[in-house]
Chain A
Amino acid sequence: MATADEIAEAYADWQVRCNGNARLARMLRGWDRTVHLMATDTGDGFTIAVSGSVLADLRHGLVDRPDLVVSATSEDFADLFWGDLNPSEKYVSGEIVLAGSSEDVMRLDAMSMVAFLDQ
């Protein structure tokens, strides 16, 4: 199990990578969304807001109505933000569960792919 602190640390690293990526900034233009993260093993909830192509700081707790909900284990969230796992693979295997539109899911996956693979 990863603690909330560990997830926050991983997210902070991911946030810097994403916000510093010019291509991702173009990709996220006009995509202002609220994403809820639900850690299925610890019960922790987090909120990510994307506005003006910029990822805001991670907030503890579930704030506002979400456009997208991502459910996974705390370990998977930490690994995802560190770029150590392929979220698509976990999604296809059912270990990451999503609720939201396919377009939003694509954008979220694009964030992890562009941030770490620069594709």
Chain B
Amino acid sequence: MSEGAPAPAATLRRAMSLRTAVSTSTGLAFAALQYLAAAGLVAYVAGDSAWISIGVAGLLALMAWAFFGELNGMFPTAAAIRRYMSGAMDDRVALTITFTYLSTIVLVVAADAFIVSAALTHVLHAPGWLTAVWTLALLAVAVLSNLRGVKVAGWLQDVATSIVLAATLVVSVVALARSGTALRTPFQPVHHHSGAGFLESVALGIFLYSAFEWVTTNAEEVRDPKHIHRAMLIAVAVLFAVCAAMTTAMSHVLTHAQLITAYPQLALGQKAFGAAGIWIMAAVTTVTALNTFNGGFITASRFVYATAREGSLPPLLARLNDRAVPWVPVLLLGTTSFAVSVVVEVVGGSGWQVLVAVGAALEGMIYAVAAFCVLRLRGRVPDHHRPFRVPIVRVVAIAGLVVFSVLALVASVSVNNRFSPVPLVIILAMGAASAAYTVTVVPKLQAAEAARRAARPTRRRPRRPPGTAGPDPGAIPPPVP
């Protein structure tokens, strides 16, 4: 049996179905922020052709799907990202990238809390300052639910994701149908725009698929290991259909003023179903938070917990409450997300567009890292079990590495079709902080952990010499089956 080959499959009493894996993958990607990213994408290309950018981004997402498919097949575990990155590069570099990438979850949770709150404020005609109160309330509910160990059941997640996607698709198609005019430039993405603008729109389009790969952290829960691979593929196809329809509809029926608000989806709902459409899309926007908060909080807090248990983060972050929930990471995630969302609100204007750009750039970065890991591990562990292999790996992985690196760079210096180094500065600052932490603090933590273990006497009795396994006269008899 080659290295990493799976053990004989056991039939688990509770296991995740393909349907739930699909809804997890799609639901994690389809956050409220996607509505704003879709509206923002329109600025870079001739509006009716925005679906082409999303299609190209979808093809690139398929490339990423192939990378994550191979890596997840090699390491079907929630700790996969640590395993394949540690195997492909220096562990300090791997930790730095992982910590930086983890910040995407904070940004998405913060942005979603702000967007849902802004939509609620708008639809209720409430004063602007209430947005911060809604945000605080939403995050407080998310934090408290997590601390109490509440996890959205698989069937509820399936229903929530289906409602969000179906409603968005129907609203988009109806809005287009009721606009009464034919598409103007459905096949001319660079009409009155530049090639660079198209490239930037593809970079932003990548963000519409971002986080579909987070479902790989559920690899240990699925009924069939192939479910994760298939679920990601189906999710990319579904995301393309919904995002292409939504972006095209937004570009066709909304004004520039409506597109640059924090709630373009409400205006789209109004175009489709009048006042009722606003309420429909407000409700749909709120439901997206269910997936984002559930998935985001659980993924991030458990990852932080595992890293702390491993000895790479302070032991305080591995403390559990009486419901076995790592309460410190959950509280930290909630407060950091609230702080970021308040900053976005105070900054106003393009604040959330900066978050979209940072998220798009980080997603491009992690896809490039995945390409690198696939290539490097093929060389380092050629005999490792690989249920799925990227075809013509040298060409595809190198192409992925280059393309995703360029797109990450492009996304990091552009906000709302204007050059802006702010996203890049934020990413570099986060990366520098992660690197400084990894280089200076992690070795001390690991030394302290090693000292603690050394000070603790081994409890196990002396081992037998190798090859002498067998009955021991002094052993306690085994329990009766």
* Chain A interface residues toward B at CB < 8 A: 1-6, 8-10, 12-13, 23, 26-27, 34, 36, 38, 40, 42, 57-63, 65-69, 71, 75, 78-79, 82-84, 86, 88-89, 91-94, 97-103, 105-107, 109-110, 113-114, 119
Q: A71's closest neighbor in chain B, by CB?
A: B7
Q: Is the CB of A3 within 8 A of B470?
A: yes
Q: Is the CB of B14 within 8 A of A60?
A: no
Bound-state Cα–Cα, A110 to B327, Å: 13
Find chain A residues with CB under 8 A from B82 CB.
92
Given contacts A5-B472, A36-B10, A94-B83, A89 and B479 within 8 Å (CB-CB): no
Closest approach, in angstroms, between the C-beta of B291 and any C-beta of chain A? 16
Number of B residues whose C-beta is below 8 Å from A? 53
Bound-state Cα–Cα, A5 to B349, Å: 68
B459: which of A26, A84, A113 is its contact (CB, 8 Å)? A84
Given contacts A65-B11, A119-B318, A98 and B309 within 8 Å (CB-CB): no
Q: A45's closest neighbor in chain B, by CB?
A: B10
Given contacts A2-B469, A23-B322, A60 and B481 within 8 Å (CB-CB): yes
Find chain A residues with CB under 8 A from B13 CB.
34, 65-67
Q: Is the CB of B478 within 8 A of A5?
A: yes
Find chain B residues with CB under 8 A from A68 CB.
12
Question: Helix, strand, loop or mixed for chain B's interface?
Answer: loop
B310: which of A9, A88, A94, A107 is its contact (CB, 8 Å)? A88
Q: Is the CB of B472 within 8 A of A6?
A: yes
Q: Is the CB of A92 within 8 A of B12?
A: no
Bound-state Cα–Cα, A103 to B453, Å: 27
Given contacts A66-B10, A94-B77, A100 and B478 within 8 Å (CB-CB): no
Bound-state Cα–Cα, A1 to B466, Å: 7
Q: Mark B210-243, 1 if CB is under 8 A from A, else 0.
A: 0000000110110000000000000000000000
Tell me whether B75 is interfacial, beta carbon within 8 Å: yes
Q: B8's closest neighbor in chain A, by CB?
A: A38
Q: Is the CB of A27 within 8 A of B320?
A: yes
Q: Is the CB of B77 within 8 A of A89?
A: no
Find chain A residues with CB under 8 A from B302 CB.
102, 106
Tell me whether B79 is interfacial, beta carbon within 8 Å: yes
CB neighbors of A among B316-375 (8 A): 318-320, 322-325
Bound-state Cα–Cα, A3 to B469, Å: 6
Q: Is the CB of A97 within 8 A of B7?
A: yes
Tell me whether B444 is interfacial, beta carbon within 8 Å: no
Q: Is the CB of B481 within 8 A of A59?
A: yes
Find chain A residues with CB under 8 A from B322 CB.
23, 26-27
B221: which of A2, A34, A92, A102 is its contact (CB, 8 Å)? A102
Find chain A residues with CB under 8 A from B325 CB.
106
CB neighbors of A among B437-481 (8 A): 453, 458-460, 463-464, 466, 469-472, 475-479, 481
Q: Is the CB of A3 within 8 A of B471?
A: yes
Find chain A residues with CB under 8 A from B298 CB.
102
Find chain A residues with CB under 8 A from B221 CB.
99-102
Known: A94-B79, A109-B309. 12 other contacts (CB 8 A): A1-B466, A2-B463, A2-B469, A27-B323, A34-B13, A67-B14, A69-B10, A89-B310, A94-B83, A99-B12, A99-B220, A100-B221
